[in-house]
Amino acid sequence: MMKAFVFPGQGAQFVGMGKDLYDSSSQAHDLFEQANEILGFRITDLMFSGTDEDLKQTRVTQPAIFLHSVILTRCMGDKFKPDMVAGHSLGEFSALVANGALSFENGLILVSKRAQAMQKACELQPSTMAAVLNLDDKKVEEICSSIDDIVVPANYNSPGQLVVSGTIAGIDKAIELMLAAGAKRALKLAVGGAFHSPLMEPAREELAKAINETPFSQPVCPVYQNVNALPSTDPITIKANLMAQLTSPVRWTQSVKNMVADGASVFVEAGPGKVLQGLIKKIEASATVESAAV
């Protein structure tokens, strides 16, 4: 029985996340306090007792989810024995700390830089994302490429659930065309910008420089990366794929299928929420899904 640990991305946050770990484990307490120092603000205050609005800010959301995921796996001790890992978008950074490719400190610094770079890119050009339900992936891709504005598939979440990303005018047009083509729903998401699209190029450049300067180690198990859905254990390949991530789609459906093909039968979600467990069941009904527990 092979076990895959999976790590959620932006959107899984909730007020109070991680407080149980902080209160019950001295290891967790120390890691959270170290994170407050690294970030230069008390993220724990915002995570444990802030408002939904506080947590929605990209500069807070991304480190918060990363910290919850990584510290949870650290507190699991011997129960954390992954045969493979994967993370959805931001979650890929959590996965790379969990499997030892990145140190806790360097992972947090990169996530913080990523959040800030994405925020800046969002402010350069207003842009957005939309979820499309029950329309064939190929049809979605066709519609995106038929629009003059920037609109691209951004997240292949599960069969029949795809997120597209682009300019506001482009997304408006895409929604209209996708509903006309028979999509059950096509609706804008409450996000700051067009993540995983060419509009993130300024952020990609800024983050690539930081990734390039960060040491990566040989991981204890393969990571299935967003950009190609393939397993990797080579630090140079991992780095290159991570650099391309911000402007490339998240191939989550393909990643889960490849993990199953390579023997994963149990998927453990480490971090806030259960979004990935739901997606995994839609991709592979026979998979066992569970939440990580200390």
Catalytic (active-site) positions: 89, 196
H-helix segments, 78-221: 91-98, 104-124, 137-146, 168-180, 201-212
**What is the rounded distance in angstroms from the CA atom of residue 255 to the CA atom of residue 245?**
14
Sheet strands (E) in 194-238? 223-224, 231-232
Which amino acid appears at position 77 of this protein? Answer: G
Contact predicate 263/135, CB 8 Å: no
Which amino acid appears at position 270 of this protein? Answer: A
Q: In the structure encoding, which two tokens stand for residue 252, read together?
A: 């989550």
Using alpha carbons, select from 107, 75, 105, 77 the residue that is nearest to residue 91: 107
